[in-house]
Amino acid sequence: MDFRPSEEQVLLRRSVREFAETEIRPHVREWDQEQHFPAELRTKLAALGLLGIQFHEKYGGAGMSAIDYCICIEELARVDPAISLSVAAHNGLCSSHISLFGNEEQKQKFLVPLARGEKIGAWGLTESTSGSDAAGMRTTAARAGNCWVLNGSKTFTTHGRVGNVMVVMAVTDRAAGTKGISAFIVEHGTPGMSSGKKEDKLGMRASDTSEVLFENCRIPDDQLLGEEGHGFVNTMQVLDAGRIGIAALAVGLAQGAFEAALSYARERRAFGKPIAGFQAIQWKLADAATKIEAARLLTYQAAYLKERGRRTTLESSMAKLYASEIAVRVADDCVQIHGGYGFVKDYPAEKYFRDVKLTTIGGGTSEIQRLVIARQLLSK
């Protein structure tokens, strides 16, 4: 067991950190305030390989490992969790679904431009009446000659407005339950597909989130993704990997909040000394650093197993649950250490505090992670 990062991983972390500090940090507050999705960042992210992190070079990807992926997502989240969420959703949901279950033709047509960062991906599972209970979806896809006709809507879709390619889950055989759900690739601009309400969010405001509507949206038969009826089970596999990404995002966010708190604690003086001199503050810092390290190890363990082709349902959920819950705690303590300055926008603490809540909700809530973990434990 070797916990040391490789030389390449040290370099990777350094280069993504430098990129985030120079290209993202100066704009964080403005993008958050304006709810601005920075499309202008796309070509720069693509140049670093960050829009095709784990995909094979032959599909336009950067061919990095699952742990490298975590490092990239962490370093982006350390500076701006909203940008990290966009990158994680593009890589870990839409592109990953096509990479795992698409045929060669679909990979050439859709994965290559996604991995090269020429297109942005969206992934639609959640609906207004079905989130955790995803199999309760209402969107349908019916065969009509050599087409499929989609009707329904998706809610909370990351890149619902700015995405060029979307993977959409729909019911193709209601009577078959979860075995009657299939996945489809839909190109933005297909007649019958439109973006609905843009969500005005608590946090992660620079990440585009909206409804997507389908009204008699006809898509060719060759855009059925994976086998008919396998959409739900394939989705669960996509989520196993996607949860490692949200865990890494939570670790990076917590790291950013911790560093902000540490630096503030050294500067801020009370009762004649820096507040870092008080044991009450030191304990918060010590607890935060310890929890972040434990969350990082759980996350890298899940990534390590994924890299070796192992099923990671249990490990992914454990990493996602733990990392997101400690991140909420660390962001809370970061505000507390900042006192009143943690409550105003001049310091980054309040933004970490708002952004972090998404990590216990997106990709499956903490309650659902506990349910998945318990099921795995009880099935042994």
Ligand X SMILES: Cc1cc2nc3c(=O)[nH]c(=O)nc-3n(C[C@H](O)[C@H](O)[C@H](O)COP(=O)(O)OP(=O)(O)OC[C@H]3O[C@@H](n4cnc5c(N)ncnc54)[C@H](O)[C@@H]3O)c2cc1C
To which residue do tokens 């809370």 refer?
Answer: 332
Binding ligand X (rule: CB under 6 A), the pick from 183, 362, 372, 373 is 362
CA distance 76 to 242: 16
Segment lying near ligand X (by CB under 6 A), choices 66-74, 76-84, 263-271, 364-372: 364-372
Binding ligand X (rule: CB under 6 A), the pick from 60, 61, 117, 131 is 131
Beta carbons of 223 and 182 less than 8 angstroms apart: no
Segment lying near ligand X (by CB under 6 A), choices 145-153, 187-195, 280-288, 361-369: 361-369
367 binds ligand X (CB under 6 A): yes
375 binds ligand X (CB under 6 A): no
Q: Specify the residue, 86 or 299, whose C-beta has the smaller distance to ligand X.
A: 86
Q: Specify the residue, 164 or 365, whose C-beta has the smaller distance to ligand X.
A: 365
Per-residue contact string for residues 143-182; x = within reach of ligand X by CB under 6 A: -------------xxx------------------------
CA distance 206 to 38: 7
Binding ligand X (rule: CB under 6 A), the pick from 209, 255, 316, 324 is 209
Binding ligand X (rule: CB under 6 A), the pick from 50, 242, 364, 372 is 364
260 binds ligand X (CB under 6 A): no
Q: Specify the residue, 265 or 372, whose C-beta has the smaller distance to ligand X.
A: 372
Q: How many residues bind ligand X (CB under 6 A)?
A: 23
125 binds ligand X (CB under 6 A): yes
Token pair for residue 40? 């202008």
Binding ligand X (rule: CB under 6 A), the pick from 126, 190, 301, 336 is 126
Beta carbons of 241 and 101 less than 8 angstroms apart: no
> Which of 153, 157, 154 is closest to 209 using CA atoms?
157
Q: Specify the residue, 132 or 290, whose C-beta has the smaller distance to ligand X.
A: 132
Site for ligand X in 61-90 (CB under 6 A): 89
Binding ligand X (rule: CB under 6 A), the pick from 123, 184, 258, 300 is 123
- Where do contacts with ligand X occur on this chain (CB under 6 A)? 89, 93, 123-126, 131-132, 156-158, 201, 204, 209, 358, 361-365, 367-368, 371
